[in-house]
Copies of this chain bind each other. A is one copy, B any other.
Amino acid sequence: MAKQHPASAEARSAGATIYSVADHAGVSIATVSRVLQGATVVAEATRQKVLTAVEELGYVPTGAARSLAVRHHEAHGLVLPELSGPYYAELLMGFEARAAELAQSVVLVLTNSRTDMAAAVRQLATRVDAIAVFGSAAIPADLVRVLRAKKPVVVIAGEPQDGIEAVAAENLESARELAGHVLDHGRRRALFVGDPDSGPDIRNRYEGYLAAHRDRGLDAADPVLARLSEADGTAFAQRLLAGEREADALMCANDELALSIMTTLQDAGRDVPGDIAIVGWDDVMTARYVRPGLTTVRQPVHELGALAADRLHELVGGEPPRTYAQMLPTRLVVRTSCGCPPVT
């Protein structure tokens, strides 16, 4: 007879435990564990008895107990600023999908909804084996350091820093190509809209914009500082309409900015790309619905998320962190807002 576990008296009324299942099936808890984990062979008859008991008792194992015993959580943490727009959502989907394949749960933390993100991350570290953090989410450096000592961390769309791996989409070269494309339409007063200091990805896009000018021996203007929001786009468009700024081309740090500027301008009677070319970054859904279609850059966001999950898993497995950022290629999506003729 299996040993009577102290808790098993009340087990029937509260949740079932491995003890109550064992009792019910007339086997030991080790056997129950074995059929549930499927690691060792169990006689078919025994297996059935256990499965039946599980079913009858509605047994749901306590993950925490397993985690404690096996000494890892089988979960990855993901820290994102927020989820508006397709970018983060796609990233998350890629991450989740790969994590699922690797049998890892994903616990998500959105920092924009937190007042104390340091606490949130500290608490997250408590229940996962590794953490992926989106680059522009400003993590207190010391926190990262603490984490690094114990749990693998990878930065998404950021840069590697001592011991913390990074994965990113290529930005600089595609930005250079995109800006070059616009300049080659003959535009000479192109402006970059976005804040290069808001994160490494935007900075690289700006660098590309600079490089394209340099390539052609042209002078580039300072960036027009704006956050990646419709509001900032509309505001800038107003300034353009008011004549405060002059431009015949706009290279926006992302599509939301580009789209809000474009429609504001159009509603005021301006012709895009006739009067002014506008390009964005991200290739959001709207980019192909607006007229003219928005020329932009498609990033392999889904793959980026998957890659992050992958790396996390391998780091947990003991692989040493890479010291260089892994770059995923991006792709220029040329529509007509840049000045290209419609294909029809």
Q: Are B84 and A110 in contact (CB under 8 A)?
A: no
Q: Are B127 and A75 in contact (CB under 8 A)?
A: yes
- Which residues of chain B have C-beta atoms less than 8 A from A263's C-beta? 289
A124 interface residue per 8 A CB criterion: yes
Contact of A58 among B60, B85, B106, B149 (CB under 8 A): B149
Q: Are A125 and B93 in contact (CB under 8 A)?
A: no
**Known A15-B150, A68-B62, A107-B108; contact A113-B97, beta-carbon cutoff 8 A:** yes
Q: Are B60 and A64 in contact (CB under 8 A)?
A: no
Interface size on A, residues (CB 8 A): 56
Give A39 Cβ to nearest chain B Cβ, in Å: 16
Q: Are B125 and A113 in contact (CB under 8 A)?
A: no
Complex Cα spacing A105 to B106, Å: 10
Complex Cα spacing A96 to B83, Å: 11
Contact of A89 among B83, B96, B120, B259 (CB under 8 A): B83
Closest B residue, CB atoms, query A91: B83
Contact of A114 among B64, B66, B100, B285 (CB under 8 A): B100
**Known A84-B89, A106-B108; contact A151-B60, beta-carbon cutoff 8 A:** yes
- Which residues of chain B have C-beta atoms less than 8 A from A109's C-beta? 96, 100, 105
- Which residues of chain B have C-beta atoms less than 8 A from A106's C-beta? 107-108
- Which residues of chain B have C-beta atoms less than 8 A from A286's C-beta? 285-286, 289
Closest B residue, CB atoms, query A285: B286
Give A328 Cβ to nearest chain B Cβ, in Å: 19
Give A107 Cβ to nearest chain B Cβ, in Å: 5
A11 interface residue per 8 A CB criterion: no
A86 interface residue per 8 A CB criterion: yes
Q: Are A75 and B107 in contact (CB under 8 A)?
A: yes
Contact of A93 among B61, B84, B126, B127 (CB under 8 A): B84
Closest B residue, CB atoms, query A88: B89
A82 interface residue per 8 A CB criterion: yes
Contact of A73 among B63, B68, B285 (CB under 8 A): B63
Complex Cα spacing A122 to B263, Å: 47
- Which residues of chain B have C-beta atoms less than 8 A from A125's C-beta? 60
Q: Are A96 and B68 in contact (CB under 8 A)?
A: no
Give A15 Cβ to nearest chain B Cβ, in Å: 5
- Which residues of chain B have C-beta atoms less than 8 A from A64's C-beta? 63-65, 67-68, 73, 127
A291 interface residue per 8 A CB criterion: yes
Complex Cα spacing A106 to B16, Å: 24
Closest B residue, CB atoms, query A78: B108
Encode A122-140 as 1/0 by CB contact (under 8 A) with B.
Answer: 1111110000000000000
Q: Are B75 and A83 in contact (CB under 8 A)?
A: no
Q: Are A259 and B289 in contact (CB under 8 A)?
A: yes
Complex Cα spacing A32 to B200, Å: 40
Give A216 Cβ to nearest chain B Cβ, in Å: 32
Contact of A126 among B63, B86, B96 (CB under 8 A): B63
Complex Cα spacing A96 to B112, Å: 10
A290 interface residue per 8 A CB criterion: yes
12 A-B contacts (beta carbon < 8 Å): A62-B68, A64-B67, A83-B83, A83-B90, A84-B86, A88-B89, A96-B110, A97-B110, A97-B113, A105-B124, A107-B107, A290-B290
